[in-house]
A and B are shown apart, each in its own frame.
Chain A
């Protein structure tokens, strides 16, 4: 979600500490793991919003500097797990609004169902569907130039 182990470790620690401090407020309306995921998701959103304010890359600058790496990455998706591409992946994902990145992470990385995502984000099922659709469209739009699927 956050793109690097150090930030992820820090956010995970903070999420557990916040959960401990707020344990009296847990009312069992949702499952405990859902409640904990909600705390972790909000922590990640805070980190991503702080980063967005410090925005280091514009999309144009990123594509100018890293266009060929990006093309290779999209042409060879199986190489995406390699550590040398993880910074590029993180910089691309940072171009998305934080809540788009969060909902994609909940679906793609955590494999949550739409109902589970709605519980974590405390929103409706229709809202989840709409946000996921817009998040994917936003990413597709950014990558269209490099992926060769111009007519989609």
Chain B
């Protein structure tokens, strides 16, 4: 009886494959000999099939455009504080460029400027645009970077 009660309390975990191997095996052996538990598992299967059949998603081709349009509408209404999100990506890029430069800078020991730093990191941009944040990254770039986990 106790074994049955324990099995009943763990049927969901067994069905979801979330039990450790030894526990799953004990549960499986019990289910094989218990009509009531077997029926429960069959009900879980039927619930999964009937109610949670994954239908192919059909997000429209214009989904991204709709999201960006809403973001841009919100951006027009809200004021982005100067020096907040817009500087984060450029500052990060500058730090990466500095690290790259320092790896190669000792070769000829010539004095360097901030533009040299950026060119060494292959950014190709003048330092004013990075430091002053005059060219904030596009909203597309932020969203893409975030979604790709970068």
How many chain A residues touch the partner (CB < 8 A)?
44
Cα–Cα distance between A13 and B74 once the two chains are bound (Å): 13
Tell me, yes or no, whether B84 is within 8 Å of chain A by CB: yes
- Interface stretch of the complex, out of B59-67, B100-108, B117-125: B59-67
A86 to B56, CA, bound (A): 13
In contact, A136 and B39 (Cβ under 8 angstroms): no
A87, chain B: closest CB distance, angstroms: 13
Q: Are B12 and A89 in contact (CB under 8 A)?
A: no
Report Cα–Cα, A93/B149, bound state, in Å: 33
Whether A19 sits at the interface, judged by CB under 8 Å, is yes
Q: B63 to A12, Cβ gap below 8 A?
A: yes
Count residues of chain B with CB under 8 A from any CB of chain A: 38
Q: Does B22 count as interface, using CB distance less than 8 angstroms?
A: no
Are B12's CB and A136's CB within 8 A? yes
Whether A151 sits at the interface, judged by CB under 8 Å, is yes
B9 cross-chain contacts in A, Cβ below 8 A: 133
Closest B residue to A79 by beta carbon equals B50
- Assuming the contacts A108-B51, A132-B12, A151-B36, asked whether A74 and B71 have C-beta atoms less than 8 A apart, the reply is no
Beyond the given A80-B50, A89-B50, please list 11 additional residue pairs across the A-B interface where CB-CB is below 8 A: A16-B67, A31-B149, A36-B147, A80-B51, A80-B53, A92-B51, A105-B52, A108-B47, A108-B48, A136-B47, A152-B36
